[in-house]
Structure 1
Amino acid sequence: MKKVSVLLLCVLTVFAACVFVPPASEVDALQKSAKNLAVVMYHNTVPDNYKASVYVIRAGSLERDLKFLKENGYRVLSASVVIDSLKNGIALPEKSVMLTFDDGYYFNKTYAMPLLEKYGFPALFAIVGEYTKFNKNNPKVSKTYTYFDFEDVAEINRSKYVEIAAHSYYLHHFGKRQGVKIKKYEDKTAYCEMLEKDTRLLEKSLLQAGVRPRVYAYPFGAYCAESEQVIKRLGYEMSLTCNEGINCVKTPENLFLLKRLNRSGTGKSVEAMFAEYGY
């Protein structure tokens, strides 16, 4: 009996060694090393003498972000490069970054695009169809909050530094429905038909501007299982949320519901946010 007990103890010792759990610090380090795509979310860019806010950044602050990325070896990639790389089994380079500008503010043409060109960085501009009527030809619209119309979209799309994403047509609202998210007790079939109709409407206008969007940016970052089913069925290859964090992307399937870091005009710089996430 004593020999059996000794044998059992030896077996258990070997088993314990095989299932050794590394310290929490090592687990954290492994998790950080697996993160390979940061997506930074901007909105409006204004001159340095304008007031900054949560969704409005001064051009000088934007340039400091871009300079930091350039000087510290970050690889700023277009959405298409990210998508095509993973589709072809090519791993993303270390310190990969995507830059996104939501809502289609006209000032980004004047104050963001020249900086993107200066540093050689591509960016994704997410367009809201309904907002295009609040364009530079509308006398009732504040200069600061003027948006691209579809002629502007066609123009900026010709830049090698700009790619266009869908950001809904009529669903960039926060009322009974939160963005594109399904409402409580809403019929799922009716919901899917509604979202497809809205998306097709935006696609029609974008196609006339020479754009076939591959990326869907969720208004307010609000999404649901049904919305993902719809946009995937419509052929989108990437979706963006407003969930905070850095992404781990290895396959094309990982490109949906990507996290982003909101770059507030009054908040932390890209450098500070990356330091916080160890990126």
Structure 2
Amino acid sequence: MIRAWMAAALLALMTAFAPAHASLLVLSYHDIRDDVAPKGDPDPYAVSTTNFAQHLDWLRAHGYQAVSVQTVLDARAGRGTLPEKAVLLTFDDGLRSAYTHVFPLLRAYGWPALVAPVTRWVELPEGAVVPYGPRDFTREDFLTWAQLREMHDSGLVDVGSHSHDLHRGVPGNPFGNQTPAAVTRIWTEGAGYESEDSWRARIVDDLQTSRDLIERHIGQAPRVIVWPYAAYNDVANGIANGMGMQLSFDLEGRAQETDLGLQGEDRADQASLASLARLLMHRNPDVRDLAGELRRDLSLDGVRAIQVDLDYVYDEDPAQMARNVDVLVQRIQDIGPSLVWLQAFADPDGDGAAEAVYFPSTHMPVRADLFNRVAWQLRTRAQVRVFAWMPVLGFKLADADLQRALQINATGENEIPRLDPGDPRTLATVSAIYAELAANSHFDGLLFHDDAYLRDDEVPDYGNGNPATRTQGLIDFTMTLKTAAERWRPKLTTARNLFARPVLEPASEAWFAQRLEPFLAAYDYTALMAMPHMEHEADADAWLQRLAAAVLATPKGVERTLFELQTVDWRVPAPLPGATLRAQSRLLQAAGIRHLGYYPDDFIGNQPPLEDAREAMSAREFPYLER
């Protein structure tokens, strides 16, 4: 089986490009050995020599043409084009097998490649070790400078940087979670978080050390940075680019367009900050695995999402809070969804607006520095992608005067307290909050909360009172928030809550400033609140069928709409039976709906019951746990 380290949920969007632009497949390998078990090897990133050779045979037989780093650089700069089925081979970490096993095959095939060593490991002193997979590696496991120079001088191998000493975890929060060194503001007891200036200086020092070592020993400075753990941000990429590393790689996809279709400075600026995706060779894929992965239509993959309240995890007792985290992570692992939409703000009074946040902030009260801890545990232990669930307008700012100046004077009952989107101070403040979230947390996407709406009598001058213009204005507002976050967390996937009524009654756009079609165009997912009990519908099944029919009739509706079911009847309030969740998920799938989710999840009270939640929301091919 082949799986990217952080599998992108919408990889299909990265594989379909206009015919005028070439698509590049980049394969990421680590160790190539003769003795790798066919399946279940203790090192999941090792590939057998036989399988690797068969990969090369299959790629050549099926029209793939290997390209060099220089060819890719030329294509990105507009100096040339790529062949129709271009493939770039990359080898991470600087393991000696790149010389002993890979290099002979590259020479035999005449295929170029990129080798990216961790320079500290090349310089490893005698007797020192590097914990690597199932055992400690010594200097004999890594390439020497002489071997790297020989491969480089052959003209087949480009030597890039995999950093000098960023291939490790560092303390990322007060709870001691070890997170990737390249993007983490290090937490130190008594001193708190590393400042942005200190973080920048650390990245500059590391990359400069790696660059200088490679240039001294190879005779050419690296033109490529391969980020350890695929962890990087635009600022770090800018630092690397300033040192001549014009090309950046992560591990977040299968293929991408390399001829950006831009001109002049625009082309150079975008290319310098955008990392290219790579497909990770994982668990020793044989040629059938490789062929199956490259032929698979990823757009048909269904998504399963669970929306989680961090307010239920928080507890004033640190020991109890730690137990809550463990219960949540274990439950998510047992259910096996694709995504968790994790609350990053605190709303203890349940009015829909953020009274505080769960990450370091200067603009909002901080209830606890908890979001990064839970998100990291979910990503590493439960193996799910985590979206930060955040308000758009619903904030109660630390600055009381600014709050009074910006808050909408809502006339309806039970409206979420919101800030005026037409006031530039709102966008500036909320953008800064999103940037703080991204600079201090690890997550894969953003879920924009259901507070992003406007009644027809609220802020009447916004969008000149035109419903479509007001709808697009709020979409543009969220896109600016995404941009603010992506400076520190690139390639974020987006989702946004949408009320059901604008789907069933398009004229109600005037009452919400929401509509399905522009949501589908703007966001990767539209999280449609498919909650019949909340809508006081007597026949829930018939209502869901009408809602499904409306989505199916909308272009791109089935591809990008996620039906979010309710597991609590808030009118009572009481949990809905688990059988209801199972039945509704089956009904929607039978109707042709591909993506499903639910809210809320009571992980402490086991609601919905684990068996029902797993059957309805597991993304596994076989969702039942082995006994």
Match of 2:180 among 174, 178, 181: 178
Amino acid at match of 2:45: Y
Per-residue deviation, 1:230: 1.0
| Superimposed CA distance per residue, residues 180-214 of structure 1 (whole angstroms, 9 cap, x where no aligned partner) | 11327532222111111111111111111113110
Give the structure with higher Rg (CA). 2
Q: 1:95 maps to what in 2?
A: 85
TM-score by length of 2: 0.37
Amino acid at match of 2:180: Q
Instruction: Determine the C-alpha separation between the residues in 1 that align with 2:65 and 2:102.
Output: 18
Per-residue deviation, 1:28: 9.8
Per-residue deviation, 1:235: 2.2
Q: 1:116 maps to what in 2?
A: 106
Match of 1:220 among 217, 222, 229: 229
Q: 1:44 maps to what in 2?
A: 31
The answer on whether the counterparts of 2:47 and 2:285 sit within 8 Å (CA) in structure 1 is no
Q: 1:167 maps to what in 2?
A: 162
The answer on whether the counterparts of 1:246 and 1:277 sit within 8 Å (CA) in structure 2 is no
Please, which moves more after superposition, 145-154 or 204-213?
145-154
The answer on whether the counterparts of 1:70 and 1:119 sit within 8 Å (CA) in structure 2 is no
Amino acid at match of 1:72: H
Per-residue deviation, 1:155: 2.3
Amino acid at match of 1:93: P
The answer on whether the counterparts of 2:223 and 2:246 sit within 8 Å (CA) in structure 1 is yes
Q: In the TM superposition, what are the counterparts of 1:1-279 in structure 2 within 5 Å?
A: 30-31=16-17, 36-47=23-34, 49-51=35-37, 52=41, 53-134=43-124, 146-176=141-171, 177-183=179-185, 185-209=193-217, 210-251=219-260, 253-254=270-271, 256-267=274-285, 269-276=289-296
Instruction: Determine the C-alpha separation between the residues in 1 that align with 2:109 and 2:199.
Output: 42
Amino acid at match of 2:184: I
Cα–Cα, structure 1 residues 28 and 243, in superposed 2: closer, same or farther, change >3 Å?
closer
Instruction: Determine the C-alpha separation between the residues in 2 that align with 1:30 and 1:167.
Output: 29
Per-residue deviation, 1:88: 4.1
SS at match of 1:157: helix
Amino acid at match of 2:277: K
Amino acid at match of 2:68: S
| Superimposed CA distance per residue, residues 51-109 of structure 1 (whole angstroms, 9 cap, x where no aligned partner) | 44421111000001000111111111011111023324322110111100000000221
Please, which moves more after superposition, 265-274 or 92-101?
265-274
Instruction: Determine the C-alpha separation between the residues in 2 that align with 1:105 and 1:147.
Output: 4
The answer on whether the counterparts of 1:244 and 1:259 sit within 8 Å (CA) in structure 2 is yes
| Superimposed CA distance per residue, residues 242-270 of structure 1 (whole angstroms, 9 cap, x where no aligned partner) | 11221111135347311110012434643
Instruction: Determine the C-alpha separation between the residues in 2 that align with 1:138 and 1:66.
Output: 36
Cα–Cα, structure 1 residues 277 and 213, in superposed 2: closer, same or farther, change >3 Å?
farther
The answer on whether the counterparts of 1:132 and 1:147 sit within 8 Å (CA) in structure 2 is yes
- The answer to which structure, 1 or 2, has the higher relative contact order (CA under 8 A, 6+ apart) is 1
Cα–Cα, structure 1 residues 149 and 277, in superposed 2: closer, same or farther, change >3 Å?
farther
Instruction: Determine the C-alpha separation between the residues in 1 that align with 2:253 and 2:49.
Output: 23
Q: Percent identity?
A: 22
Amino acid at match of 2:255: I
Per-residue deviation, 1:144: 11
Q: Which sections of structure 1, spanning at least 5 residues, go unmatched?
A: 1-26
Instruction: Determine the C-alpha separation between the residues in 2 that align with 1:142 and 1:196.
Output: 27
Cα–Cα, structure 1 residues 208 and 72, in superposed 2: closer, same or farther, change >3 Å?
same
Please, which moves more after superposition, 243-252 or 38-47?
243-252
SS at match of 1:166: coil
The answer on whether the counterparts of 2:15 and 2:254 sit within 8 Å (CA) in structure 1 is no
The answer on whether the counterparts of 2:74 and 2:81 sit within 8 Å (CA) in structure 1 is no
Count of aligned residue pairs for this structure pair: 250
Q: 2:375 maps to what in 1?
A: none
The answer on whether the counterparts of 1:129 and 1:170 sit within 8 Å (CA) in structure 2 is yes
Per-residue deviation, 1:157: 1.5
Instruction: Determine the C-alpha separation between the residues in 1 that align with 2:158 and 2:109.
Output: 16
Cα–Cα, structure 1 residues 131 and 229, in superposed 2: closer, same or farther, change >3 Å?
same
